[in-house]
Structure 1
Amino acid sequence: MKKKKIKRKKGYIILTIIILLVIVLCLVTTEKLTTVRYTYETDKLEAPLRVAMVSDLHSCYYGENQRDLTDALDAEKPDAVLLGGDIFDKSLKNDNAYTFLEYIAGRYPCYYVTGNHEYARREVVTIKKNLTALGITVLDGECARLNVGSETVNICGIDDFGAVGERTARAQLKRASEGADEDNLTILLSHRPREAEEYLKYGFDLILCGHTHGGQWRIPGVMNGFFVPSDGFFPKYAGGEYTLDGATMIVSRGLARESHPVPRIFNSPELVIIDIV
């Protein structure tokens, strides 16, 4: 009887160790930056174009001078960088965010929209002013033109839907869409994917969002995302590519790491690269 109890106890100990090792391995591997690639096909371009999307950085640390992130970005040689909001964090210092932004502003055409954390800091006016001074195009109801060689793409953007409210966000969507040249490919940059049905009303071709952090926990092939504070459990648009009625939406799982109290599980922080062909 004692031998059975000893064996059972050893079994529990071994099982506990295995579970702990799996958890540690999971946490370590899913904190590593990954590059996620998408291909978007259109008949509105004659030459291919590559854009990078950086979302939900939350002023997190990516090595000295943010080199882990900037090196990954430079390796992809994008034609433009689209910043999908929450580049800053409501609690962390702004240093890491500005270090990254100062670097990319001198190398790439950059376009920025706010997320909810820029508003939570109560510094959104200052942030917009500083980014404009760096040469980054701030979009809050505008539609800019990205010119690469002989190609022109409309880059439209709005402030965070939840922060400015429906009335203001809808007015910005209308103004941005009216500023787009219908002959060009039109990209909408907006922080939250939950309002996808609203975005579809304005005829955008490609919609780029963030905010969800991939639902924080994932089980690939089983569960795309577990929880988003603003959307609840098992959010519809947790991360990835979605084919909508007349448009494609890509949702970045973002780059947040130490800024969030809940660790990412099977959900690596990601740099998104989109080849438009």
Structure 2
Amino acid sequence: MKRKMMILIIIIMVILSAFAFDFRLKVVNYELKSNKIETSIRIALITDLHSCKYGENEVELIQAIDVEKPDIILFGGDIFDDVISHENSIYLLEGIANKYPCYYVTGNHEVWSSEVNEIKTIVKSFGVTVLEGTSEMIQINNSKIQISGVDDSSIFKLKADGSSVITELEAIKGNIDQSVYQLLLYHRPQNAQQYLSYGFDLMLSGHAHGGQWRIPFLLNGLLAPDQGFFPKYAGGLYNFETSKLIISRGLARESTRIPRIFNRPELVIIDISK
């Protein structure tokens, strides 16, 4: 009996380990409604790639995006890393930037690389719009949306003019048309409450890596940068009275010192309809 019990325990542990350390890419879908939208818009949110590898020349990630057929792609920071070569990030841009309208904001690791200006130049060279306290009004089918984005807060330590994320948000504020669906792209999610007053319908973020370790249905995330243990904003959909926040758990794999547990890397797909 003891032998059978030991075998059963080992089998259970093996099965749990297989799920716990599953680093395969998955697609996570969100469906949102708004009276500001006439025809459905599909957004792909990509964050925290950290130049990690998804097949030869990033083919796995590129194919996953193509299958979903997004109308636009948003890069929510840390697409490049401060340690790993930029090669895989460039492969990704090569594979998708000529197919979809793309928008990008910086993350802290791009700033830490000491090459943030060079990275922005690379991103722009593929026709990707870099949002840095700026907005762009776009029309998809019969729907208009206004996409705004701010730099990561760490970039302002390199500037001597006293500017900040709030400076960029205030610059955006003067251009916001509240009759149009308003979207904010930024990297660090923990300041969501502070940004609610600017009137964005949807905020998109990354950075938290899903809290790194999760326990399905019990613990959304154990530890996240800037938030510490049991972070309030780890990953998923957060509803506020006048806005929503979606946080991607990101795509980092080999770049993380602590392995992800019950926390598969994700490509986020958001459908917004009337």
* Contact map agreement 1:214 1:267 (CA 8 A) in 2: yes
Alignment partner of 1:128 is 2:120: yes
**Structure-1 separation of matches of 2:63 and 2:173:** 34
Alignment partner of 1:160 is 2:152: yes
Among residues 182, 199, 203, which one is paired with 1:186 in the alignment? 182
Alignment partner of 1:88 is 2:84: no
* Contact map agreement 2:147 2:184 (CA 8 A) in 1: yes
Q: Once superposed, what is the RMSD of the aligned Cα atoms?
A: 1.8
Name 1:151's counterpart in structure 2: 143
- CA distances 1:146-196 after superposition (whole Å, capped 9, x unpaired): 221232210000011344369510001111222222221010000011000
**Structure-2 separation of matches of 1:150 and 1:19:** 52
**Structure-1 separation of matches of 2:137 and 2:100:** 14
- CA distances 1:228-254 after superposition (whole Å, capped 9, x unpaired): 131100100100000113100000000
- CA distances 1:40-64 after superposition (whole Å, capped 9, x unpaired): 1100111111111001011000001
* Contact map agreement 1:254 1:270 (CA 8 A) in 2: yes
Name 2:48's counterpart in structure 1: 56
Query: What displacement does 1:16 show?
Result: 7.0
Percent identity among equivalent residues?
A: 46
* Contact map agreement 2:207 2:225 (CA 8 A) in 1: no
SS in 1 for 2:36: coil
Name 2:260's counterpart in structure 1: 264
Name 1:171's counterpart in structure 2: 167
Name 1:25's counterpart in structure 2: 18
Name 2:209's counterpart in structure 1: 213
- CA distances 1:104-148 after superposition (whole Å, capped 9, x unpaired): 110000000000000010111011111112100000100012221
**Structure-2 separation of matches of 1:41 and 1:162:** 33
* Contact map agreement 1:193 1:209 (CA 8 A) in 2: yes
Gaps of 5+ in 1: 1-6
User: What residue identity is the alignment partner of 2:233?
Assistant: Y
Among residues 55, 68, 72, which one is paired with 2:64 in the alignment? 72
Name 1:4's counterpart in structure 2: none
- CA distances 1:63-112 after superposition (whole Å, capped 9, x unpaired): 01211111110011100000000001111110001100121110000000
Name 1:106's counterpart in structure 2: 98
Using the size of structure 1 for normalisation, the TM-score is 0.92
* Contact map agreement 1:252 1:272 (CA 8 A) in 2: yes
User: What residue identity is the alignment partner of 1:226?
Assistant: L
Query: What displacement does 1:263 show?
Result: 1.0
Gaps of 5+ in 2: none
* Contact map agreement 2:111 2:154 (CA 8 A) in 1: no
SS in 2 for 1:194: helix
User: What residue identity is the alignment partner of 2:14?
Assistant: L
**Structure-1 separation of matches of 2:9 and 2:140:** 56
Using the size of structure 2 for normalisation, the TM-score is 0.93
User: What residue identity is the alignment partner of 1:90?
Assistant: D
**Structure-2 separation of matches of 1:22 and 1:163:** 43
* Contact map agreement 1:156 1:177 (CA 8 A) in 2: no
User: What residue identity is the alignment partner of 1:185?
Assistant: Y
Name 1:3's counterpart in structure 2: none
Query: What displacement does 1:27 show?
Result: 4.4
Alignment partner of 1:273 is 2:273: no
Q: Name the stretch that deviates more: 220-229 or 17-26.
A: 17-26
Structure with max Cα Rg: 1
* Contact map agreement 2:204 2:247 (CA 8 A) in 1: yes
**Structure-2 separation of matches of 1:177 and 1:156:** 10
**Structure-2 separation of matches of 1:245 and 1:129:** 38
Q: Name the stretch that deviates more: 167-176 or 80-89.
A: 167-176
SS in 1 for 2:238: strand
* Contact map agreement 2:178 2:199 (CA 8 A) in 1: no
**Structure-1 separation of matches of 2:19 and 2:105:** 32
